[in-house]
Structure 1
């Protein structure tokens, strides 16, 4: 009976996976290129900084070069918020020659998470730079300390807000610039392939979810909807925005480039934090299901995603039990029964899914003007299955941390790699 239950649970989630693959291949966001109009806009790029001495100088320099190329209708500034770093981050920021840079320092070793740092920047803007600015003509962009965006991408972001007055938040695509090893390539496959396609599906059937880096919001929304203290502050902010009736869209044609985590332990710690953050957002589910501002697709999709840390502890075990059972029965009764056919069917569908995911990455990369070969994407798609096995271990650690009350922020550590910038 337990074996049949395990097979049933595995089949249910395997079926959901197949449906998801079919949907994300079918629903795509149309390619949209907006022309920036005459309306003046303020653009504030907020960068949380905590022990980023290895990357922050290069980030500020490169972003400043791009801000200098923005059209005259966009006035931009960088707000770097140092969260009481114990390295040389603050000193490097203080000596930066960038004319666009404003530096804030959170003293007292507060380190209450990314949400608190962003709120510090918003409070500063409200009382200083944006005090006389119309909130609907000011945009706040959230960038990581290792982020890079071109002037073209930033202009397109502002143009989308200008052309759609109802737009409250816009998330760009995310790509990896330091694809120096297998782990880094897998993160690029995840962000540019699976995540981008899923976000496009959400935009077509509901609304997308912010990804933190490359997240742009109107100042009006930021003032109305402060960031929370969840370990997944972008998801929490998105859910609050939905409940307020704000429109959230995804822009796959423009990307923010970021650094991949290239070592296994820091990568695992990062994903445990993300997984634990999803658990912390479970409290929003009742309001999500009761809200008239959220449609049925958003409710089901978001519920499934938020509950994934729990289902992620169950499904790997049931799948392993089902696989061992089917393999054992197949070997002992090869000429009878359906077990070997079931195994061959699973393998065939898995290979077809790898091909479909490879096509997704190839398509999304072309859409963002980051061309790649199908052979490389197919190879990455097959090895991506091993990457998923690593991620499959994170729910166990996340739930353990949450039960033990360990909610401290485990920061992603950035290294200093040469930026692999494309030509524009």
Structure 2
């Protein structure tokens, strides 16, 4: 029967079937992640000791927001004498350095227009700390973006994760401007989904998580062994994650350490940022795919799946969708122009294009709805906005398709995004008790 079925399939059918099977084999485990998150609680840690940390913030023209971040660190429910804040004022043309210094941070002024990017700034700042503050005995280094604001218990919770033996850990990435528009809401839902249904499942299953941009720590001995921050591709966070997992370093996750991040609100800024991410993912995949494939077969048992998971995170899966759509569109054009037979061929290709796009939109909608309802009280916006942006989330995600395609051919570079939304950390604590009935940006 199988032979008869295969004999009746055209090469178009076979191609589309291969794409579908590839997607299913490679990514169905993420549906299992959802089941794990919904049925099993995340493990918890209790710290036996408070540790000493350095905070690294690479800031370029962030005078509008840097003060809020430093203030949120200064009011932590954690001994202040164990936290030192270092701001790298990177190629600034405003008064970021003065504001950070007045707020209580140690500021390093960096002027380097050749080595541009967060990774270079972090490495330069780390080396400056080693030269001038090596006697302070920092046990781990935290990395934040200037537009972040931290929950008052952030360091207390992350300290428990570090005390539990983690060499690196990311945290719960929330948004401080979910309600700005459909773009900022799209980012917010994506990061909440990543935290809840990817990293929490990985934590529960004792595999490795992935660093995502901001809100993480790295143990001092890891950076010492590497000789500093030596990850300088366009997505230095994912490069660090891939490098660490390949080397057998497990990245943890702390679901109770909450960080609020400012999301872009214009499509131009969003396009530029996600284009850099897409290009960076291609770069990291090119550099680390072979090592991850090898690790999936040769690493110690506990790290093999982490290598596969990281490989699937990096793999340009969306390109399969793009290739499938383009392939079937070409078949339709050839059939209509008379080069190929019409009828079944056109129907098959058109249905494949529809199936591909419909499934993508459907899955994104399902993830948006699931994430919104499970994280309802954590989203600081009116209920009407939460419901409305569940429907715009698939639209936000489908705009990744042209971005991923263009990133294949166009050169990418780092472009700054202006941050201007200021909040008081106390506002978030107040909003938690009112289930997010009002937006918090001011």
Q: Normalising by structure 1, report the TM-score.
A: 0.81
Q: Contact 1:172 / 1:256 at 8 angstroms: preserved in 2?
A: yes
SS in structure 2 at match of 1:142: strand
Gaps of 5+ in 2: 1-9, 336-342, 431-442
Q: Which residues in structure 2 correspond to 1:250-329 (within 5 Å)?
A: 250-281=253-284, 282-291=286-295, 292-293=299-300, 295-308=303-316, 311-319=317-325
* 1:408 equivalent among 410, 413, 416: 413
Q: Could you say what secondary structure the match of 1:105 adopts? A: strand
4+ aligned runs moved over 4 Å, structure 1 = 320-326, 339-353, 369-379
SS of 1:143's equivalent in the other structure is strand
1:84 aligned partner: 91
Q: State the 1:297 CA deviation.
A: 2.4
In the alignment, what sits opposite 2:150?
149
- Which residue of the partner structure matches residue 243 of structure 2? 240
Superposed displacement of residue 118, structure 1: 1.1
Greater mean deviation of Cα atoms: 372-381 or 356-365: 372-381
C-alpha separation between the residues in 2 aligned to 1:340 and 1:123? 57
Give the counterpart of 1:359 among 353, 360, 370: 370
Aligned to 1:59: 69
Retained in 1: the 8 A contact 2:173–2:261?
yes
Q: Pick one of 129, 133, 139 that aligns with 1:129.
A: 133
Given the superposition, is the C-alpha separation of residues 151 and 352 from structure 1 closer, same or farther in structure 2, using an over 3 Å criterion? closer
Structure 1: distance between partners of 2:241 and 2:360: 34
**Uncovered stretches (5+) of structure 1, i.e. residues with no partner:** none
**Aligned residues of 2:167 and 2:218 also touching (Cα < 8 A):** yes
Would you say the 8 A contact 1:82–1:103 is kept in 2?
Answer: yes
List per-residue Cα deviations over 1:94-120 (Å, max 9, x = no partner). Answer: 4x1x34x11011134344321111112
Q: What does residue range 4-403 of structure 1 map to in structure 2 within 5 Å?
A: 4-12=13-21, 15=24, 19-20=28-29, 22-28=31-37, 30-37=41-48, 39-64=49-74, 66-67=75-76, 69-71=77-79, 75-94=82-101, 96=102, 98-99=103-104, 101-133=105-137, 138-162=139-163, 164-165=164-165, 167-179=166-178, 180-203=180-203, 204=205, 206-225=207-226, 226-227=228-229, 228-281=231-284, 282-291=286-295, 292-293=299-300, 295-308=303-316, 311-319=317-325, 351=362, 354-355=365-366, 357-364=368-375, 369-370=378-379, 379-401=388-410
Contact 1:84 / 1:111 at 8 angstroms: preserved in 2? no
**Displacement after TM superposition at 1:147 (Å):** 0.6
Question: Residues 41-79 of structure 1, C-alpha deviation per residue, up to 9 Å, x if partnerless?
Answer: 112111001121222233323332x24x4247x611111
Query: How many angstroms apart in 1 are the aligned matches of 2:376 and 2:329?
Result: 35
Partners of 1:20 and 1:384 in 2: CA distance: 22
Between the aligned partners of 2:11 and 2:160, the Cα distance in structure 1 is: 56
Say which SS state the counterpart of residue 150 (structure 2) adopts: coil
RMSD of Structure 2 on Structure 1 (CA) = 3.5
Task: Report if the CA contact (8 A) 2:184-2:264 is conserved.
Answer: yes
